[in-house]
């Protein structure tokens, strides 16, 4: 049995009948996969920042990158590809688009979400002076919704549940 099939079986065990009134099985799978990938990102970021860069700057020739950005740049490719694999093979497995098209579109959606998060935090925290944690939570919910809609209707268009 393929890894994706095993993951789907495990996720579907938690899809209780009453959830069908609120979300499709596909949306549930997407949420579980996204949540797991977000958790992986947080754990890897912590480990890389604390133990690889130890909070120090990374010097590459004439360029200096802060420890927090260096950790982000180290972890991002890992969670990008795990997220793409999960979306392609678990959430939107029946997409009729070519792999390279899916990957390119997935990348565009991820970049859009990074932009929304960055500029949203700048606006909410620095201009409107909202609490950073509340701002981050609001923007996380917004980017999850944007991501799901765009992945479903753009990146993996043509899928069937």
Question: What's the pLDDT tens digit per position in 115-143?
Answer: 999 999 999 988 998 888 898 889 988 99
- The pLDDT tens digits for 61-111 are 999 988 888 899 999 999 999 999 999 999 998 888 999 999 999 999 999
State how far Cα 73 lies from the chain centre.
14
Read off φ and ψ for residue 59, nearest 5 degrees.
-105, 120
In the chain, what are the domain boundaries?
1-93, 96-161
Burial (CB < 10 A; 0-12, 13-18, 19+), residue 14, is: exposed
The pLDDT tens digits for 32-42 are 999 999 999 99
Q: How confident is the model at residue 94, as a pLDDT?
A: 86
Span 13-30, mean pLDDT?
A: 91
Question: Could you tell me which residues are beta bridge partners of residue 58?
Answer: 65
pTM: 0.86
């Amino acid at each position: 049995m393929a890894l994706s099939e095993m993951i789907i079986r495990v996720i579907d065990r938690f899809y209780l009948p009453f959830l069908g009134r609120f979300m499709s099985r596909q949306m549930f799978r997407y949420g579980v996969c996204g949540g797991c990938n977000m958790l992986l990102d947080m754990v890897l970021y912590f480990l890389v920042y604390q133990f690889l860069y130890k909070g120090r700057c990374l010097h590459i020739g004439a360029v200096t990158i802060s420890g927090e950005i260096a950790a982000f740049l180290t972890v991002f490719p890992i969670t990008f590809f795990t997220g793409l694999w999960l979306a392609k093979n678990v959430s939107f497995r029946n997409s009729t688009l070519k792999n390279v098209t899916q990957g390119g579109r997935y990348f565009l959606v991820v970049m859009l979400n990074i932009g929304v998060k960055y500029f949203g935090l700048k606006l909410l925290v620095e201009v409107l002076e909202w609490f950073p944690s509340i701002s981050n939570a609001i923007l996380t919910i917004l980017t999850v919704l944007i991501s799901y809609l765009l992945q479903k209707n753009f990146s993996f268009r043509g899928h069937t549940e």
